[in-house]
Amino acid sequence: MKYRVDVHIDGDVRTVIADNGANLLDILKGMGISLYTPCGGRGTCGKCVVRAEGGMAEPSENERRLLGERLKKGFRLACSYRIGSDACIYIDRPGEQAVIMTAGTRRQVALDPLVRKRYIELPLPSLEDQRPDMERVLALSGLPAMNAGTSITNLPGIETELELLKGLPALLRSSGYRVTTVETGGKLLSVEAGDTTALLCGTAFDIGTTTVAAYLHDLNSGKLLSVASMMNPQRKFGSDVISRIDHAKTSRQAAYELKSLITDCVNELAGQLADDAGINKKDIYAAVFSGNTTMLHLLAGLDASGIAVSPFIPATCRTIRLGAKELGIDINNSGQAILLPCVSAYIGADTVSAVLASGIYEKDGFSLLVDIGTNGEIVLGGKDGLIACSAAAGPAFEGANIRFGMGGIAGAVDSFAMHGFRYTVIGNMAARGICGSGIVDAAAALLDAGVIDETGTVADDGETAGLPQEIRERFTVTDGMRSFILVPAEETDIGEPITITQKDIREIQNAKAAIAAGIETLMSEAGISYHDIKKVYLAGGFGSSIHVRSAARIGLLPQQLTDRVEAVGNASGSGASECLLSKEMLRIAEEIAGKVRYIELSASAVFSEKYIENMIFTQNQGEVLQMEKRVFPVAERIVNG
Amino acid sequence: MKYRVDVHIDGDVRTVIADNGANLLDILKGMGISLYTPCGGRGTCGKCVVRAEGGMAEPSENERRLLGERLKKGFRLACSYRIGSDACIYIDRPGEQAVIMTAGTRRQVALDPLVRKRYIELPLPSLEDQRPDMERVLALSGLPAMNAGTSITNLPGIETELELLKGLPALLRSSGYRVTTVETGGKLLSVEAGDTTALLCGTAFDIGTTTVAAYLHDLNSGKLLSVASMMNPQRKFGSDVISRIDHAKTSRQAAYELKSLITDCVNELAGQLADDAGINKKDIYAAVFSGNTTMLHLLAGLDASGIAVSPFIPATCRTIRLGAKELGIDINNSGQAILLPCVSAYIGADTVSAVLASGIYEKDGFSLLVDIGTNGEIVLGGKDGLIACSAAAGPAFEGANIRFGMGGIAGAVDSFAMHGFRYTVIGNMAARGICGSGIVDAAAALLDAGVIDETGTVADDGETAGLPQEIRERFTVTDGMRSFILVPAEETDIGEPITITQKDIREIQNAKAAIAAGIETLMSEAGISYHDIKKVYLAGGFGSSIHVRSAARIGLLPQQLTDRVEAVGNASGSGASECLLSKEMLRIAEEIAGKVRYIELSASAVFSEKYIENMIFTQNQGEVLQMEKRVFPVAERIVNG
């Protein structure tokens, strides 16, 4: 039995013939339409909502639980919906790219780009000057002198090198021996006919688990020409790195699919960057990639399975340099790709890059760098040494596992205050859900108002008596759980109120406890107290959008440090740009990756203890850390590390 | 109109349907049957002889001229034969591989092979030891310490390197962390499960224009395990490098075909070597290639067109190192290929390799190295410096352009003496033609007997009066030219006598004059006379098979040096083996390539003068070189060179 399915999306209708019983999410995937499925299509996150018309299959248990009243309006979960008749499916994807954090702290770095060009006019060959074509070029290229006897092809990206040699004789003759050399790090990448020195661009990418940001620079001036971003298309296989790795493990085909998704995404972004800047993609000669260890493994096609299971072993943490072509990246044929170095399975190049861009590696005393995502990466230290850990916060702050949670995209409540129940929505529209910064604000407001107590328990009817009437009226029940209405149904876009449930509060407690305990574990390792920390850098989109007071109120960040917090935006992207624009910065990034000492929290008794301590919503006054202050014996640790 | 053609070859019959007028050489090519066509199928060399039965097309002018009486017996030239009826074609290819020179001088070199293995048992990963898989391996690999921050993939043959990284996690886990590392020059090539250290072989190839020789060594012991050789299959596009380059220039397809032919040949030889030694091809981890500059360009797929025309510019002369895979060579997946360095368009890696194997680069005073082929490569010098030239001798000594000439294969007359008209035939069979050493013997004998005079003119009837009767009876006419019968028709396999014609003598004069003039030009450049030369090394198959007395008699080699001549066999192959077995020898080869100063003869007035002087058959007594003896200012020349 076959049915006709009309899919309405982006103002378009596309028709497909489907088998009876076919899964709608699979059908859409087959049409190249990917929905956001943080749970990987297991029917638990409730994010893959579509609206269906036509003879409907009976709703599943998951749909009843997660959609409630919305079922009546025809809303269904694509992952749970099976075709049982002809149907019309309406997919409403809001403008997802609206608020991906691409801006980041920008330092001045001395321009010494990864790739350089030089125009040269070669002497013509003659019986008196029979140098081989390659020698003729090398002699005037300004490259470090090479002895005639040394091999020509022990360069990174040999493929490119051999291609260069193959094309060189014809190129020299057709160009009248007037050519432009392209070199990286003293190695010849390619030779182009005529003077092309003006055309020299490079890209930096920050590949996050959720979002991908991309930057195009003119390498002659260092100028930022354009910025672009996209959701990471791999997210249809789950919102966290473990889901991705698990999927990659299922088959060679699946691993290839993950690699293709991110490669295609990078290529699309490169195309957008070029279009926006009015250049040709082929004028891009370098792509520097930052990202967490898993994302870079998947990009390189490396086996990431060791990252997913204890003891958490990546294939490599070193810089990977290769021809962009080998990576499937469609820029100049001789273009170089550099995947920045990582520290460990859960301290990736994104953290190394943020350490670089924040400059903490060259600062006296102790700075704290925190990047809160599914994992909270935390770095403590300065020019005398750096230690780092990764706290498994879970995806609560990214909106997953939160009843009405969503990413920081259009329709998300991104701030909330109890006074007047004021809130703001990204994109100035009716609310569809709530994102990380809104969740933190809400939790802080509920705490302040006494809607939840220090243990995180939502006040029961007996306890709400002392609360103002307008607050009391907002208590309700969602999915059978006591909850609090943040946005009433009539103000939302989803036909029901946006609430925060008891379960949501528990998720927030787990998440904030992990981050706070991670910070304290590093401080304990370093033997310092809060007043030793000169500055706190918050990296990433979430770090830039949260309200520091709210974060401190719920104990996500230490209360004692609120006067020293600075948001550095997408520092991972900024660091990648720095490495593109300055070989010295790339060298420093490698130095940072080599010297950061990684503290494994899953093996840390200190962390376990502090995690439990931080489950409650005290306003931490630093009293749990009154231990003896020691000098931070960094050098010694690094030698041992 | 279509015709049936039955091709009888190697005891087999294969049938093909051909268009009316189709060229037989093309038909055979399409069937994968390649005939020896030094002229490239232009109908001038007369080597592509087949026997045809069936309604025959009219013989061409070329066939009449070159086949003479043989036409009556059904012999035809495949290149000139066009299908005009059903036909049976008989192809008789003698055992071509019988006498390819593979043996060469073998020095003792300290074993330090290009590729090494090491078996290691790695500590298992744990929460206390979370090193990435690659670091775990590198730490015990014995490779030079790499700083953790440095990039992992800036190695030659990056493809291999990325593949290694891709497979490493699964390999370590499945092998229980007991693995064998494979490294070259301090770089990790691959990691294998378990202890595979016993399986470690390498190959050396000498790719000649005419023949390809291959050697298999055990890299643990250095032992030579097997030797194999084949005719270079590219020779169907012509016997000399210019014909090959001209063909490669015709189209991208043609260039690819030339590359494929030699790659397939190398792969077939590698398979033979492995079979003979009872090893697996995958146990071969390195392939070192010697050969002339053109052959190495074609092997690497480089554009060789600059080599064919003045001012004779190759794409590169440097060592080319790459993954064997990239070259299309089917050995171990991580196997390395090294194409040895060249000096110039016409002084190739074969000469560099011969200089290495002969050891002249480390000898006091002056040695002379001569490798006579289509070009005669000549090197003069010693540890204080080396100069080289390439004299365009033409293919006479390889049997081409000689009426009954052929390569040094079964059926070739390879020695001749006037006394009793004794001769020897390779393979002890009825003679089919005459090869280089036989031609030199014959010319010397004719000179001694007065059959030809000092100007190379065959005695006319008036001049033969004083000759013995049995010699007088051997004068005849071939193709309208006065000629001398070396082997009477009744003793040959071709139904007619093997003669040496007036034109053959002219070819020999040209060839020997070029070699002798090349030697004298270098001596003049060095400012030395014959008694300064301590030793003459004759490299190559022809150099090993010629009779020194005959060579000196015709002036191919200086009479004054006959007491100092040593044949070093396939010194090019020996040198390649040395580079495979010793990284130090490879380094020295690169040093030699970098310091040999090339003298371009086409620009040399000295050469022109000496070439004309040497056209006559005097027994050179050195009197033309009575110039002032100077000290050889080598160091200065190298700096300038």
Surface of A (551-580) touching B: CB under 8 A: none
- Measured distance CA(A423)–CA(A442) in Å, rounded: 10
- Smallest Cα–Cα separation from B576: which of B215, B262, B111? B215
Residue among B128, B162, B318 whose CB faces A326 most closely: B162
Which residue from B154, B320, B602 is facing A156, i.e. has the nearest CB? B154
Contact across the interface for B317 and A135, Cβ inside 8 Å: yes
A154–B301: do the CB atoms touch at under 8 Å? no
* pLDDT at B31 (0 to 100): 76
Q: Is B311 on the interface with A (CB under 8 A)?
A: yes
Of the candidates B91, B97, B175, the residue with the CA atom closest to the CA atom of residue B136: B175
d(CA B173, CA A55): 52
Out of A127, A165, A593, the one facing B600 most closely (by C-beta) is A127
Does residue B149 belong to the interface with chain A, where contact is any CB pair within 8 Å?
yes
Instruction: Name residues 88-147 of chain A within 8 A of B (Cβ).
Output: 125-135, 147
Rounded mean pLDDT, B203-212: 94
Q: How many CB atoms lie within 10 A of CB B99?
A: 20
Check if the beta carbon of residue A405 is closer than 8 Å to that of residue A431.
Answer: no
Interface touch B593/A159, C-beta < 8 Å:
no
Residue range B377-387: mean pLDDT, rounded: 96
Q: Does residue B641 sit in helix, strand or coil?
A: coil
Return d(Cα A538, Cα A443) in angstroms, integer.
20
Task: Find out whether A306 and A312 touch, Cβ atoms under 8 Å.
Answer: yes
- Judge whether A393 and A372 are in contact, CB under 8 Å: yes
Kindly determine whether residue B326 and residue A168, on different chains, have CB atoms separated by under 8 Å: no
Mean of pLDDT values over B302-317:
94
For residue A511, give the nearest of A412, A619, A374, A624 by alpha carbon: A374
The share of chain B scoring above pLDDT 70, in percent, equals 90
Task: Return the percent helix, strand and coil in chain A, to nearest 5.
Answer: 40, 25, 35
Tokens encoding B463: 């001049």
DSSP state, residue A328: T
Question: Closest Cα to residue A380, out of A520, A572, A566?
Answer: A520
Identify the pLDDT of residue A276. 95
Question: Beta A336-339 vs A284-291: how paired, if at all?
Answer: parallel
Structure tokens given for B560: 């004054």
Spatial contact of B607 and B140, defined as CB atoms under 8 Å apart: no
B360, with CB counted inside 10 A (0-12, 13-18, 19+), is buried
CB contacts, 8 Å: B323 with chain A: 158
Contact A133 B159 (CB under 8 A): no
Three-state secondary structure call for residue B218: strand
**Nearest CA among A220, A211, A310 for reference residue A262:** A211
Contact of A613 with A624, CB cutoff 8 Å: yes
In this prediction, residue B102 carries a pLDDT of 67
CA distance B557 to B533: 13
pLDDT of residue B398: 83
Residues in chain B within 8 Å Cβ distance of A148: 317-318, 593-594
Please list the ranges in chain A whose pLDDT falls under 50.
Answer: 94-98, 145, 147-150, 152-160, 620-641
- 3-class SS shares of chain B: helix, strand, coil, % to 5: 40, 25, 35
Cα separation, A391 vs A606, in Å, equals 13
| Alpha-carbon gap, residue B174 to A458, rounded angstroms | 51
Task: Mention every residue, 6+ apart, whose C-beta is less than 8 A from residue B359.
Answer: B107
In the 8-state DSSP scheme, what is residue A23? B
Q: What is the ipTM score, two decimals?
A: 0.78
Q: Does A640 touch chain B (CB under 8 A)?
A: no
| A208 close to B (CB below 8 A) | no
Closest residue in B to A604 (Cα–Cα)? B127
pLDDT band at residue B11 under the 50/70/90 scheme: low
For residues B529-551, average pLDDT: 91
Shortest CB distance from B594 goes to which of A149, A154, A341?
A149
Q: What is the pLDDT of residue A625?
A: 33
- Tell me which amino acid residue B565 is: V
Say how far apart CA B405 and CA B402 lie, in whole Å. Answer: 5
Q: Which chain B residues are within 8 Å of A156, Cβ to Cβ?
A: 151, 153-155, 158
CA B470/CA B468 separation, integer angstroms: 6
Chain B, nearest residue to A317 by Cα: B132
For residue B311, which residues of chain A lie inside 8 Å, CB to CB?
A: 125-127, 129-130
Q: How confident is the model at residue B140 (pLDDT cuts 50, 70, 90)?
A: confident
Cβ atoms within 10 Å, residue A419: 8
Cβ-Cβ contacts under 8 Å for B14 (sequence gap 6 or more):
B6, B7, B31
SS3 A223: coil
Q: For residues B475 and B489, what is the distance between their CA atoms, to the nearest angstrom?
A: 13
Q: Do A314 and B133 touch (CB under 8 A)?
A: yes
CA gap B420, B637 in Å, rounded: 52
Please count the other Cβ atoms lying within 10 Å of the Cβ belonging to residue B385. Answer: 21
Rg of chain A taking only CA atoms, in angstroms:
27
Q: B192 Cβ partners below 8 Å, 6+ apart?
A: B171, B179, B180, B182
CA distances from B588 to A490, B257, B633 (A): 85, 34, 22
Cβ neighbours, 10 Å, residue B92: 12
Alpha carbon separation from B104 to B137, B218, B566 (Å, rounded): 40, 18, 12
Residue type, A37: T
Q: Mind listing the pLDDT tens digit for each residue in B462-500?
A: 888 889 999 999 999 998 999 999 999 999 988 899 999
Q: Is there a contact between A133 and B167 if contact means CB atoms under 8 Å apart?
A: no
The closest CB to that of A126, out of B125, B311, B598, belongs to: B311
pTM > 0.90: yes or no: no
A518-555 burial, b for 16+ CB within 10 Å, e for fewer?
bbbbbbbbbebbbeebebbbbbbbbbbbbbbebbbbbb
pLDDT reported for residue A74? 82
**Rounded distance between C-alpha atoms, residue B622 and residue B560, angstroms:** 7
- Beta strand B224-231 with B211-218 is antiparallel
Query: Hey, is the C-beta of B167 within 8 angstroms of any chain A C-beta?
Result: yes
As a whole number of angstroms, the distance between CA B232 and CA B226 comes to 19
**Backbone angles phi and psi of B294, in degrees to 5:** -65, -45
A559-598: b or e for each residue (b if 16 or more CB lie within 10 Å)? bbbeebbebbbbbbbbbbbbbbbbbebbebbbbbbbbbbb
User: What are the distances in angstroms from CA B33 to CA A199, B3, B97, B240?
Assistant: 51, 19, 16, 20
Residues in chain A with CB shorter than 8 Å from the CB of B344 are 130, 132
The tokens describing B118, both together, are: 């090491």
pLDDT digits 0-9 by tens, B39-62: 777 777 777 888 888 756 778 888
Q: What confidence score (pLDDT) does residue A83 get?
A: 84
Nearest CA to B338 out of B597, B592, B583 is that of B583
List the one residue out of B214, B210, B186 whose CA is nearest residue B289.
B214
Cβ pair B148:A603 closer than 8 A: no
Smallest CA–CA distance from B312 into chain A, residue: A130
Who contacts A7 (Cβ-Cβ below 8 Å, separation ≥6)?
Answer: A13, A14, A15, A16, A28, A31, A33, A89, A91
Q: Cα angle vertex A78, ends A77, A81, to 5°?
A: 85
Count A/B contacts: CB-CB distance under 8 Å.
227
Task: Answer yes or no: do B148 and A593 touch at CB < 8 A.
Answer: yes
Show residues of chain A in contact with B313, CB under 8 Å. Answer: 125, 130-133, 169
